[in-house]
Amino acid sequence: MTATPGRVVWFTGLSGAGKSTLASALYERLSAQGERVELLDGDAVRENLSRGLGFSKADRDTNVRRIAFVAGLLARHGVTVLVSAISPYRGTRDEVLAGLPNPVEVFVDAPLSVVTDRDVKGLYLKALAGEIEHFTGVSDPYEAPLAPDLHLRTDRKTVEVCLTELLEHLGVRDVANA
């Protein structure tokens, strides 16, 4: 066990809101500055830890708890862990964040109309056409954080501005823009 605990930065929000984009940008910046950092992306983790789970509330919660379990292991060994996962249920999010060292909840927020317009993966069109069940924001709920540590409106701010806010919140000196 390391003497200096890490932290977990948890990006939550709708599909297409920009979670992975921001988490990746933060990962690159922190890595470049020599920080021990790991990115746990919801989709990748699902592939490695939760294949076979679906998108019911119970299955989504199980997936979120598994991500949190792994994030906690890494953070307790001094790693800064960036989690990018829709994690739509407030109660489950609150519960797992409370069990993690130095948790930072980041609400990556863009209105449904905007993410539907973006439709990065072409999924909203299918979901709105009823071709995908349990699609967060369309046929499944998204419970927004009531008091996130950081609330980033990605329809109003650029990635670079959001990243600067993230770095400031984390107390990381922004070397690139110093």
* Binding flag, residue 73, a copy of itself (CB under 8 A): yes
Cβ contact 109:22 at 8 Å: no
Q: Which of 24, 65, 143, 172 binds a copy of itself (CB under 8 A)?
A: 65
* Binding flag, residue 62, a copy of itself (CB under 8 A): yes
* Binding flag, residue 78, a copy of itself (CB under 8 A): yes
Cβ contact 39:29 at 8 Å: no
Residues 6+ apart with CB under 8 A from 154: 17, 18, 22, 108, 109, 110, 162
* Binding flag, residue 121, a copy of itself (CB under 8 A): no
- Length of the chain in terms of residues written: 178
DSSP state for residue 78 in the 8-state scheme = T
Q: Which of 43, 57, 69, 125 binds a copy of itself (CB under 8 A)?
A: 69
Least CB distance from residue 71 to a copy of itself, whole Å? 10
First to last CA, the chain: 34
Least CB distance from residue 2 to a copy of itself, whole Å? 5
87 is a catalytic site residue: yes
* Binding flag, residue 74, a copy of itself (CB under 8 A): yes
Alpha helix positions (H), the chain: 19-32, 42-49, 57-75, 90-98, 112-118, 123-128, 159-170
Cβ contact 10:104 at 8 Å: yes
- Which residue type does 99 have? G
Stretch of residues binding a copy of itself (CB under 8 A), selected from 75-83, 84-92, 113-121, 128-136? 75-83
Stretch of residues binding a copy of itself (CB under 8 A), selected from 11-19, 35-43, 105-113, 144-152? 35-43
* Binding flag, residue 66, a copy of itself (CB under 8 A): yes
Interface residues with a copy of itself (CB under 8 A) are 1-2, 31, 36-38, 48-49, 51-52, 62, 65-66, 69-70, 73-74, 77-79
Positions annotated as catalytic residues are 87
